Amino acid sequence: MTTRTWLNLALLGGVALLVLVVVYQPGLHTAQPLPRLTALVPANITHLRIERDGAAPIALERKAQDWIMTAPVRMPANTFRVETVLQVAQAESHARMDAATVRLAEFKLDKPRVQLWFDATEIAFGATEPLNGRRYVRLGDSVHLISDTVYFDLIGEFTAFADSALLAPQSQNRLTQLDLPALRLVRVGEGGWMQAPNRMHAPPEPEVSMDRVNALLDAWRRARAIQVRPYVTPVSAGAEPENVIFIHLEDAEQPLRFDIVSRTPDLVLARADLGVQYHFPAGAIRKLFSLAVP
C-alpha cells in the first residue's frame, strides 16, 4: 500500500476511536434511576381520597375514562387535575428513612395535615426540606422525600377538583329547554327550536336564523368556566326572574338551576345545590344570553 493509503486508514481508525469514546464514555458510570414511591400503576387506581385537617374529605372515583367527585358533593371531576395527583404514586424517592428511627414531629408527620389514599394505600404529607423544597411523606413504615408538586392542590378548596364545564358530557345533547331571564328556547320535534314567552316578558328576537339558535345552544353545551370556586351566598340577588337560569333536560324530573351571582366585573353562575360557582369573563354574557351575533 502507498503511504497515502496508510494515512487514510489511520485517520479512519482515529475517527472510529473518537466515536467509541463519545458513545460509551469509558470511566463514567451511568446514573441509576431513583426508586419509585410505590409500585402502584396510576392507570389501575380506581379510588382517590383526600383528607385535610379542618376540611371536608374529597373522594373521587374512576368511571371509564373519566373521574367523578363523590364527596363532598357528587359532580364531574377535573380529570386532568386528578391524573396529576395520581402521578404521586410513581414519584421518585430522593431519600428513604425508617419511620421508627426518626422523630416524626420534626417532619410534621406525627399529625399530618394531609392524607392521601390511592385505593387502600395511604400517603401522609409532612413538611418540606429547605435545601431543594422537597416534601417529606410517610408510606407505611418509611419516610420519603419527593418533589413537591401537588400539596397545595390537596390542601385547597374541593373545587380545585371540580370540572369547569357547566353541563356534564352526558347532559350536553339532552337539552329540551333553555330558560334565560329574557329569552326562552323550547325544543320542538327533531332538532327544531322555537322562542317561547320568557319570565321578563321581553319580546322575542325577530328574524333569528337557526344558525344563531344552534350557536347559542352550543355555547351552553360547551361552556367552561375560567375558575370554579365554592359557592358564596350573595348579599342580595335581586328579583328571582332576573337572576335565575333553568336548563331542562330530557328524562330529568327537575331542571338544572343556575343563579346569576354577578354580571360585572365577571359573570358568575352558581349551582347552590352543589355548593359551587363558575366564573366567566364579563364578555361571556353576550355569548350565553343573547341570540344576537357576538
Residues 223-275 have pLDDT tens digits of 999 999 999 887 655 557 789 999 999 988 899 999 999 998 899 999 999 99
CA dist 170 and 75 (Å) reads 12
Of 94, 196, 82, nearest in space to 142 by CA: 94
Percent of the chain with pLDDT over 90: 68
Average of per-residue pLDDT values in the chain: 88
Give me the sign of the Cα torsion angle 75, 81, 85, 86: positive
Tens of pLDDT, residue by residue over 70-111, are 999 999 999 999 999 999 999 999 999 999 999 999 999 999
Residue with cell 325544543: 187
154: pLDDT strictly greater than 50 = yes
Q: Which of 71-75, 150-154, 205-209, 269-273 has the lowest mean pLDDT?
A: 205-209
Q: What is the mean pLDDT of residues 151-171?
A: 93
Q: Give the per-residue pLDDT at 291.
A: 86
Please report which helix (H) or strand (E) contains residue 286, including its range: helix 284-289
Q: Give the per-residue pLDDT at 208.
A: 83
CA dist 53 to 31, 50, 58, 124, 283, Å? 39, 10, 12, 12, 38
Q: Give the per-residue pLDDT at 21.
A: 45
Q: Give the per-residue pLDDT at 170.
A: 82
Please report which helix (H) or strand (E) contains residue 31, including its range: none
CA dist 51 and 123 (Å) reads 11
DSSP per-residue codes, 139-175:
ETTEEEEE--SSHHHHHS-GGGGB--BSS-GGGTT-E
Q: Which of residues 116 and 173 earns the better pLDDT score? A: 116
Percent of the chain with pLDDT over 70: 87
Do the Cβ atoms of 259 and 247 come closer than 8 Å?
no
CA dist 165 and 274 (Å) reads 13
Q: Give the per-residue pLDDT at 68.
A: 96
135: pLDDT strictly greater than 80 = yes
Do the Cβ atoms of 269 and 257 come closer than 8 Å?
no
Q: pLDDT category, 20, cuts 50, 70, 90?
A: very low
Of 223, 94, 92, 114, nearest in space to 167 by CA: 223
Task: Give residue 165's identity as a one-letter amino acid code.
Answer: A
DSSP for residue 224? B
Of 172, 290, 184, nearest in space to 221 by CA: 172
- N-to-C CA span, the chain: 83
For the chain, the C-alpha Rg in angstroms (whole number) is 29
Query: pTM of the predicted model, to two decimals?
Result: 0.81
C-alpha cell at 155: 390542601
Do the Cβ atoms of 258 and 270 come closer than 8 Å?
yes
Q: Give the per-residue pLDDT at 9.
A: 47
Q: Give the per-residue pLDDT at 235.
A: 65
Q: pLDDT category, 31, cuts 50, 70, 90?
A: low
Number of C-beta neighbours around residue 222 at 10 A = 11
Q: Give the per-residue pLDDT at 30.
A: 57
CA dist 291 and 273 (Å) reads 28
Q: What is the mean pLDDT of residues 6-16?
A: 50
